[in-house]
Amino acid sequence: MTKPLRKVVLPVAGLGTRFLPATKATAKEMLPVVDKPLIQYAIEEARAAGIDQFCMVTGRGKTALVEHFDIAYELEATLRERGKDDALAALQGSRVEPGSMVTVRQQVPMGLGHAIWCARAFIGDDPFAIILPDDLVLADKPCMAQLADAYRETGGNVVAVVEVPREHTNRYGILRTGADDGRLVEVKGLVEKPAPKDAPSNLSIIGRYVLMPEVIGHLSKMERGAGNEVQLTDGMAKLIGQQPFHGLRYEGRRFDCGDKIGFLEAQIAYALKRPEMADAVRAFLKNYPAE
């Protein structure tokens, strides 16, 4: 019987150097898209997939991430006294059930695989999701909910994948593929950031995963891969042939919010999805015609 998917790991220990000076004293995951920080989008996406246990893998200077999901008694009392019901309602998404969120520290930046290994006690013997908050996916059905459906269907590891230009394969984890029905593709191998001439396909993994707990045993060996870091891709590759492993061509549009252009595009796209903002946004965009 397939175990229910109830846990998510959110690696948030990065320094956010591409957004300096904005991230000098602010966690990059607290940068807002419209009026909500990236980390809240990630938590809400996990909840939409039925996940109710959250683990943030943090680093120094990341306490604001935890504070954001606490109850702000003074703020709520003030809003209540002033009759600011809309503002009060806006805070509801930033609450989590007591005891449902834990944090662990990644003291040394040794790669994504090492960050996931740091959450080993939280993961235990259960399947778990991973959401990278830098990757924002705008979709009618949240991306992680799509992966959760695929996990229940296949009973194994599932990663979200998208086709990328072949000249960009050296930026991503790339799949070597087997059977492919247009939605689910069998994963025969994984290569971290291959040169375009060596890439087995142009199907790239984005920051959404559902993995079996056995990956932790492989990550615990601390084998160094690309960039002399412990790569999650290398650990996942060890599961291939041992467990079901599929890539899911998810429905939706992904924005790389770790990149300034991707972050700015996400602002526009998410604002245009808000009925109360869409017309005003379209109007001001007309002030910037292409030259």
Give which of 95, 10, 111, 16 is closest to 61, Cα–Cα: 16
Give 9's pLDDT tier (boundaries 50, 70, 90). Answer: very high
Summarised one tens digit per residue, pLDDT across range 117-126 is 999 999 999 9
pTM value is: 0.93
The CATH number of domain 7-281 is 3.90.550.10: yes
In sequence order, which residues have a C-beta less than 8 Å from that of residue 85 and are 6 or more positions away?
none
Domain ranges in the chain?
7-281
User: What pLDDT does residue 77 have?
Assistant: 92
Tokens 């059977």 identify what position? 179
Distance CA 196, CA 168 (A): 7
Compute the mean pLDDT over every residue in the chain, rounded to the nearest whole number: 91
Distance CA 2, CA 134 (A): 29
In sequence order, which residues have a C-beta less than 8 Å from that of residue 261 and are 6 or more positions away?
none
Tokens of 32: 């807002």
| DSSP string covering 87-134 | HHHHTGGG---TTSEEEEE--S---HHHHHHTTHHHHTTS-EEEE-TT
